[in-house]
Amino acid sequence: MGVYALFEDRFPLLTVREHVSFSRCTTIGCGGEAALSVSPSDAEEGAEVLNFLQRERVPYAFLGAGANTLPPDGFSDGVLVRSDHLKGMVLDGNTLFAGAGVTGGALVRFALCHEIGGFEPFIGIPMTVGGACVMNAGVKEKHISDLVLRVLAIRKGKIESFPLSACAFGEKTSVFQDGKIFVVGALLRAEPSIREKIRKKCGEFLQRRSSLPKGRSMGCIFVNPNGVSAGELIDRCGLKGLRYGGAFVSERHANFIINEGGTAADVSALIEKIKQDVFLQTGIALREEIRRLSFYEHT
């Protein structure tokens, strides 16, 4: 696309990768590839890169750990802007700043090491801090929104600090979901705790997760509608085990689709079928929790 050479010229220190396979950078493990990915290493570099992409009218999309993302099949002539080099963490009294690329595992290990409580529910959730802010990730008792004080992000090429009130966190939603704001990091509440207590809680959360389906997935596909379990609805409609190509509805948890070598089209068709059957049989319209990766020019 010629942009690679432009990047090398303009951003000599930026990590740029060509032909980036979606199956390698998403947990569902399907899809084609992106022409390029770039990994800014701080907010300033991120802002310069995004300004450059916008000026050059290059389509782009954001990605964290790819744990809630369905990528497209085929070749995407666009740039994947990744957070994987934004991994810094700074503890200052009762606050912790974590870069968008910090994984859930790294966050919990840091919290254990520095005796900070409150992060235990995130153990075992495949995520980055950026992706978790976009998705308001968490478990029943606690979501990232319960810990966020501010989110640092780039909007329209400028670095902005979003106080909690501007993040519009809801059930698996946030203001960052419009695909136009790149999260750089989050300032999180850091309550003092003790190692033994943190370890015990982590063990309890891990135990709870041990019954989740194994294999390549995106976690829950649908949000629970008004407190009803989406998995139970899907199960009641007799869809457990339904297979399209290499993708099938998990027997363990009907809100999970497992991919064994299928395409994004298989997964998508299965999602549509589930929505259709659940609606026809129960009258309930399921809302997708997962995000679809789409590249477009930002104006």
Ligand X SMILES: Cc1cc2nc3c(=O)[nH]c(=O)nc-3n(C[C@H](O)[C@H](O)[C@H](O)COP(=O)(O)OP(=O)(O)OC[C@H]3O[C@@H](n4cnc5c(N)ncnc54)[C@H](O)[C@@H]3O)c2cc1C
What distances in angstroms separate CA 142 from CA 121, 239, 276, 292, one per listed residue? 7, 30, 31, 25
* 126 touching ligand X, by CB under 6 A: yes
Question: Quick check: 172 and 105 in contact, CB under 8 A?
Answer: no
Residue 144, burial from CB neighbour count under 10 angstroms (0-12, 13-18, 19+): buried
Closest CB to ligand X among residues 37, 68: 68
* 3 touching ligand X, by CB under 6 A: no
Question: Quick check: 221 and 257 in contact, CB under 8 A?
Answer: yes
* 29 touching ligand X, by CB under 6 A: no
How far is residue 117's CA from residue 62's CA, in Å, rounded to a whole number?
30
* 40 touching ligand X, by CB under 6 A: no
* 83 touching ligand X, by CB under 6 A: yes
Residues 6 or more apart in contact with residue 283 via CB below 8 angstroms: none
* 132 touching ligand X, by CB under 6 A: yes
Instruction: Name the residue among 209, 162, 154, 206 with its Cα closest to residue 186.
Output: 162
Q: Which of 36, 125, 221, 254 contacts ligand X by CB under 6 A?
A: 125
* 123 touching ligand X, by CB under 6 A: no
Q: Which of 40, 78, 99, 130 contacts ligand X by CB under 6 A?
A: 130
Q: Which of 29, 31, 40, 64 contacts ligand X by CB under 6 A?
A: 64
How far is residue 252's CA from residue 254's CA, in Å, rounded to a whole number?
7
Closest CB to ligand X among residues 115, 146: 146
Stretch touching ligand X by CB under 6 A, among 65-73, 157-165, 244-252, 258-266: 65-73
Closest CB to ligand X among residues 80, 278: 80
Element (H, E) at 115: none
Determine the straight-line distance between the first and last CA of the chain, rounded to whole angstroms.
Answer: 20
* 100 touching ligand X, by CB under 6 A: yes
Closest residue to ligand X, judged by C-beta, is 131
220 has which bridge partners?
256
Closest CB to ligand X among residues 8, 232: 232
Closest CB to ligand X among residues 189, 195: 189
* 69 touching ligand X, by CB under 6 A: yes
Binding residues for ligand X, rule: CB under 6 A, are 27, 61-69, 83, 100, 125-128, 130-132, 134-135, 137-139, 176, 182-183, 217-219, 291
